[in-house]
Structure 1
Amino acid sequence: VSVSVTGASMTVSHGGALPEGRVLQQVARLGYGIVRAEAHVSPMSDKAHADHVHNDHEGHDHASHDPDPDHGHSETGQAWWRSRRAVLTLACAAALLAAYGIGHLFPVAERGVFLAALLVGLVPIARRALMAALAGTPFSIEMLMTIAAIGAVMIGATEEAAAVVVLFLIGELLEGVAAGRARASIQGLADLVPKTALVERAGGTSECPAEDLAVGDIILVRPGARIPADGEIIEGASEIDEAPVTGESTPKRKGVADAVFAGTISTDGVLKVRVTAAASDNTIARIVRLVEEAQEAKAPTERFIDRFSRTYTPAVLAVGALVALLPPLLAGGDWNEWIYKGLAILLIGCPCALVISTPAAIAAGLATGARRGLLMKGGAVLEGFRRITAVAFDKTGTLTAGKPAVTDIVAYGRDERTVLALAAALEQGSSHPLAMAILDRAKADKAPVPPALAAKAISGKGVEGSVGGVAVFLGSGQAAGERADMTQAQRLAVDSLARDCLRRESRRHRRLVGLGPVQD
């Protein structure tokens, strides 16, 4: 049995037939809400099957935690403060505060009200401890907490027992919130792929769910739209923004026979793409699976704590029991005094905080990284950061904003304001990063942006059109040199600005050079 906390799912691998009802019944007995997700034949064996079941639970590492019927429902899509775990924690805390108030006003009733407050949180914990014991794990955290709380009541420390239970529930609640955020980060990755696609079938184009696309389908991608599947371009060319997938902030020009990834953006061209991977196997889906596997993989510290707690926890229970029983039985000691000391050993020696905090801290770290665009392959990588002494970056935009900006305008034959106005006129309506940079500069300088007629992109070179009856071309220095007679000084100026552009902040800035009217 493999449980994915971040994926809220459980996989049961088995040989031969296994009635689905038995799986569902056993999971329900452990207190989880569960629905069947899908089934497929495992590639490892013709006889082995893997049944995937969606398991509604809230982020416990089941190698060190046991099934939890009272906080095991994730209530997907619901705010964390409305979850059953949050309600239980708030109810227990409110009961404790009320007990303090009532005990202060009516000292006679103090013990009774604190006992009632304790039961609010302890009954669910004891129930979980019992189910964990029936499932084969008698030395669970819940069992230790139950024993400690009952023992505290026996020696008259009801107030302390109630406070410890509230703190325990708060710790579990925070762990659940961290796991929920991890799941939300993964869902954010999945949302990069559009839900629908325009597919060509039977001589026409129709809209269909992206998850229904099959290998070999021909899809149409419009300018500014996200590509719904991995594929190969069979018609058209466009600047492809791959930042959502690769992190590369500068769009890449792609044409016929080039591969494209699901979730990337076609910025300025219409493409026809042949699908090469189903939705369950596209680039984004593989990234999501890797992140889920990374979050489920145990870090070295977690593995050590698991091994340590399997031996240490029973040992603490045994020592606490011996301290509480042997002196009164063998030496005539006071029972209350030695039970108190046994419970003190149990509470001080219990590894609850250690076992709870480590998976929660690692899940929170991985989730925070995912939200900020940093995908880490598990807790081992996270722990490895402490040994890093040097860092190398190889992506444009990693150290910079990754957003082009016009920093210089060099005009020949026209003033700078006119050059900027002509360039902005051609770029109106474009979502290309360089176009946006020019339009932003025009807006900042309050330059007029006249309408452009018959504007069109020239693949790999630039854009041309008519502005105020004048033919205008905006493109790279090389492309401009093919259309206009540039002097040696002008060519050197373009090259110098280009080299400076590459040097300064990893190509963050772009220069706009305006040439005068093209001479015959």
Structure 2
Amino acid sequence: MSRCCKHDAPNPPRPGTGDDPAKHADTTLHHWRIDGMDCPGCAGKIEAALRRLPGVHSAEVRFATERLHVQLTPEGSREQVVRAIHAAGFTPFSEQDNTPDSSPFWRRHFSLLVLLLLVVVAGATQLFLPAAGPWLFTLATLWGLLPIARQAGRLARSGSPFSIEMLMTVAATGALFLGETAEAAMVLLLFNVGEKLESLAASRARQGVKTLMALVPEQARRLTAHGVEKVAISELMPGDEIEVHPGGRLPADGTLLNAQAAFDESAITGESLPVERKQGENIAAGSLAVDRAVRIRVSSRPGHSTLDRILHLMEEADASRAPIARFIDRFSRWYTPAMILTALLVAVLPPFWLGADWQTWIYRGLVLLLIGCPCALVISTPAAVTSALAAATRMGVLIKGGAALEQLGKVDMLAFDKTGTLTQGQPVLHELCLYDAFKRRQVLALAAGLESGSHHPLATALVNAAENEGVEPIEVGEKHTLPGAGIQSRWQDQPLLICTPAHLDGSRFTPEQAADIERLRSAACTLVVLVVNEQIAALFALHDPLRHDARDGIAALNALGVRSLMLTGDHELTAHHIAEALGMDYRAGLKPEHKLREVARLSEQGRLGMVGDGINDAPALRRASIGIAMGQGTDVALDSADAALTHNRLTALADTVRLSRVTRANIRQNITLALGLKAVFLVTSITGVTGLWLAVLADTGATALVTLNALRLLRFRP
């Protein structure tokens, strides 16, 4: 009889890091680490500056890893490259120099703190001594403008004349010249704060690369004819034999020499349950030895392991992803020089060609310069983005900047990892089938007694199941681990065994027990059998349950017209079961490179977002138009993503998509309002209908209106 019940509870370079010098026999490859890059646009500015130099065959900046790769012909020199990088406003270091900046906070942000203090003091003074306020605002403007103008000059000389720094220089200078000192100072303060936040986000993203590489131990236990010796992983070569103790990670790819062993490969495949490997099978670097000490024959060269390839995939995804240029930066390419030229022509041409009054037309040119000052435009977009980011944070969603926020509202499809994203990521007891005269509490106590002390996820699930039902583990005799099979012991002079059904002869199962096994396997459960005195006592079915809001989250996305797809390294049966329960499509059995390839293919068909939590998801998170990490996910996934669900609520995805769409509409309204007012006053200024004071009113009024419109986003509710 069976009773089943459900239970709900200087090394060689890494591959791909720059061109191979062998491809160009007359060139040499040089590397630098670049400090001071705040966004991918900075990487483009460095490349533009270097490619103008004689003797530079190619120049490529990997923003994610701060690495610059330059191929020099015999005519080029390292000193020339270093000078050009400095001239563009960035700092090059040798790759070996990784000393972190240990200077205090106030020293690193001294210029911004002084600017903030000057603006606050000027604002307070304006209330009590109106005559002194403009002078203090002027001082604040000059303090904030000097480094920006200097950087604008450097970029102009290195091939980027109409950068956002140039736009800010013209805007602040124009406002300052026409007496709008407070507005000029506030624009510069907002710009500097934004630059610091971008720099912080960039540093966090690069920290993810270091976290990924930290999975590989610095030393390995190499087996030699004289015993075991500890060596640096850079000394491991193909053919070396190493030993890894339980709980240790493999330092390199290799072949298993033991008969059988279990490995936690979640860092590579995303699969939550350990995988049993047999002698001769390949094991990836970063895999965790679960149940016993193992011997591995190394098969990868230093810098060419599976984890190195994942790092390379992250760099490739970052490089192939077209940088999302900020709207103001694109707009400044023609707007700033066009408005300066127009103001100059208005001031000079009528008096020169028509004999008109010089003073009148110079005055109108100055009015036009103020009208053309893009202060309202500069403030309106970041004001809307800042308000939306604050609203998103209140909903439990951390979004890394305006570009990511904008992309969220454009996605046509969201691709999900399974383990830890759609599911909880931890196996639990789903169903327990009892046979013969055995009782539920008895078999739970025996299973917990056998599995106590083990770090295997299945063992933890069984121990937790007994604890949740208030069952104390039964003390059993000495336990013996059967490599790759299970655990055996004795209880009341009876042999005990806990293992998977695959390790028992099929003839030992009754037709009823075989039917239970087949039914539970088809339900995508992992099975464990308890054998007492050679009798099948119980069948434990464990599974990784769905998140409680997974169905609601997918349904909410469908209602917004956003399709859902599951990409998983798990096997077909489990993937089908999960996808069917959620009503979504799926792709199963995907390794990191396959997942990245699928994301790239889908990205060509439309705007794709990727949601994941594991290290194996990091390349796909970078390659997608928008990458979203679960808040409890690995540091690499969080740092690789453009957004993170800090509360792990999948329903927040649909809320964030709606917020992004509302924000995009708000930004369009702000741009239309700012440019519309300027267009009207452009005509009235040239015709002399409006004077300088109305131009000031129009400019400051537009700034106030777009800011108030942006603040409406703070009241957004899901």
TM band (smaller chain)? 0.7 to 0.9
Q: Provide closer, same or farther for how the CA distance between residues 92 and 414 of structure 1 changes in structure 2, counting only shifts above 3 A.
A: same
Report how far residue 312 of structure 1 moved: 5.4
Q: 1:108 aligns with which of 131, 156, 163?
A: 131
Report the secondary structure of 1:407's partner residue: strand
Q: 1:6 aligns with which of 52, 64, 67?
A: 64
Report how far residue 474 of structure 1 moved: 0.7
Q: 1:165 aligns with which of 180, 184, 188?
A: 188
* Residue 499 of structure 2 is aligned to residue 475 of structure 1: yes
* Residue 82 of structure 2 is aligned to residue 24 of structure 1: yes
* Residue 534 of structure 2 is aligned to residue 518 of structure 1: yes
Report how far residue 29 of structure 1 moved: 4.1
Distance in 1 (alpha carbons) for counterparts of 2:430 and 2:438: 18
Structure 1 counterpart of 2:290: 267
Q: Residues 160-195 of structure 1: CA distance to partner in whole angstroms, max 9, x if unpaired?
A: 111111111122222222222221223222222222
Q: Relative CO higher for 1 or 2, CA cutoff 8 Å, sep ≥ 6?
A: 2
Report how far residue 158 of structure 1 moved: 1.4
Distance in 2 (alpha carbons) for counterparts of 1:123 and 1:111: 18
Percent identical across equivalent pairs? 32
**1:280-359 map, 5 Å:** 280-299=303-322, 302=325, 310=333, 314-326=337-349, 331-332=356-357, 333-347=360-374
Report how far residue 90 of structure 1 moved: 3.0
Report how far residue 25 of structure 1 moved: 3.6
Asked if the contact 1:114–1:162 (Cα under 8 Å) also holds between the matched residues in 2, the reply is yes
Structure 2 counterpart of 1:404: 427
Q: Residues 191-214 of structure 1: CA distance to partner in whole angstroms, max 9, x if unpaired?
A: 222222222234321223324322
Report how far residue 383 of structure 1 moved: 5.7
Distance in 2 (alpha carbons) for counterparts of 1:105 and 1:304: 38
Q: 1:463 aligns with which of 475, 487, 496?
A: 487
Report how far residue 390 of structure 1 moved: 7.7
Distance in 2 (alpha carbons) for counterparts of 1:82 and 1:5: 26
Structure 2 counterpart of 1:364: none
Distance in 2 (alpha carbons) for counterparts of 1:516 and 1:464: 10
Report how far residue 511 of structure 1 moved: 6.0
Asked if the contact 1:409–1:514 (Cα under 8 Å) also holds between the matched residues in 2, the reply is no
Report how far residue 435 of structure 1 moved: 0.7
Distance in 2 (alpha carbons) for counterparts of 1:79 and 1:414: 67
Report the secondary structure of 1:338's partner residue: helix
Q: 1:446 aligns with which of 458, 464, 470?
A: 470
More deviation in 183-192 or 123-132? Answer: 183-192
Structure 2 counterpart of 1:72: none
Q: Residues 310-351 of structure 1: CA distance to partner in whole angstroms, max 9, x if unpaired?
A: 555544443344345445655432534421322322426988
Distance in 1 (alpha carbons) for counterparts of 2:155 and 2:307: 37
Q: Residues 124-167 of structure 1: CA distance to partner in whole angstroms, max 9, x if unpaired?
A: 11111122223233322222222222222221111111111111
Distance in 2 (alpha carbons) for counterparts of 1:337 and 1:305: 26
Q: 2:93 aligns with which of 26, 31, 35?
A: 35
* Residue 484 of structure 2 is aligned to residue 426 of structure 1: no
Distance in 1 (alpha carbons) for counterparts of 2:412 and 2:144: 44
Q: 2:208 aligns with which of 158, 182, 185?
A: 185
Report the secondary structure of 1:2's partner residue: strand
Q: Provide closer, same or farther for how the CA distance between residues 221 and 138 of structure 1 changes in structure 2, counting only shifts above 3 A.
A: same
**1:118-157 map, 5 Å:** 118-157=141-180
More deviation in 17-26 or 259-268? Answer: 17-26
Number of residue pairs matched? 459
Report how far residue 93 of structure 1 moved: 1.9
Report how far residue 98 of structure 1 moved: 0.9
Asked if the contact 1:409–1:512 (Cα under 8 Å) also holds between the matched residues in 2, the reply is no
Report the secondary structure of 1:472's partner residue: strand
Asked if the contact 1:474–1:480 (Cα under 8 Å) also holds between the matched residues in 2, the reply is no
Report the secondary structure of 1:408's partner residue: strand
Distance in 2 (alpha carbons) for counterparts of 1:348 and 1:281: 51
Structure 2 counterpart of 1:214: 237
Distance in 2 (alpha carbons) for counterparts of 1:118 and 1:162: 5
Give me the TM-score of the superposition, normalised by structure 2.
0.57
Distance in 2 (alpha carbons) for counterparts of 1:512 and 1:128: 66
**1:40-59 map, 5 Å:** none
Unaligned runs of 5+ in 2: 1-58, 389-397, 537-718
Q: Provide closer, same or farther for how the CA distance between residues 5 and 489 of structure 1 changes in structure 2, counting only shifts above 3 A.
A: closer
More deviation in 233-242 or 251-260? Answer: 233-242
Distance in 1 (alpha carbons) for counterparts of 2:64 and 2:128: 47
Letter in 1 for 2:514: R
Report how far residue 485 of structure 1 moved: 4.8
Letter in 2 for 1:347: P
* Residue 198 of structure 2 is aligned to residue 175 of structure 1: yes
Q: Provide closer, same or farther for how the CA distance between residues 212 and 106 of structure 1 changes in structure 2, counting only shifts above 3 A.
A: farther
Distance in 2 (alpha carbons) for counterparts of 1:268 and 1:82: 50
Report how far residue 385 of structure 1 moved: 9.1
Asked if the contact 2:446–2:474 (Cα under 8 Å) also holds between the matched residues in 1, the reply is yes
Report how far residue 15 of structure 1 moved: 1.4
Structure 2 counterpart of 1:51: none
Report the secondary structure of 2:131's partner residue: helix
Structure 1 counterpart of 2:43: none
Distance in 2 (alpha carbons) for counterparts of 1:487 and 1:172: 70
Report how far residue 279 of structure 1 moved: 3.4
Distance in 1 (alpha carbons) for counterparts of 2:414 and 2:112: 44
Distance in 2 (alpha carbons) for counterparts of 1:289 and 1:78: 29
Report how far residue 309 of structure 1 moved: 5.8
Q: Could you say what the CA RMSD is over the residues aligned between the two structures, in angstroms?
A: 3.8
Q: Provide closer, same or farther for how the CA distance between residues 287 and 210 of structure 1 changes in structure 2, counting only shifts above 3 A.
A: same
Q: Residues 203-228 of structure 1: CA distance to partner in whole angstroms, max 9, x if unpaired?
A: 32122332432233222111121111
Report how far residue 31 of structure 1 moved: 4.0
Report the secondary structure of 1:248's partner residue: coil
Structure 1 counterpart of 2:515: 492
More deviation in 131-140 or 279-288? Answer: 131-140
Letter in 1 for 2:512: A
Q: Provide closer, same or farther for how the CA distance between residues 142 and 516 of structure 1 changes in structure 2, counting only shifts above 3 A.
A: closer
Structure 2 counterpart of 1:279: 302
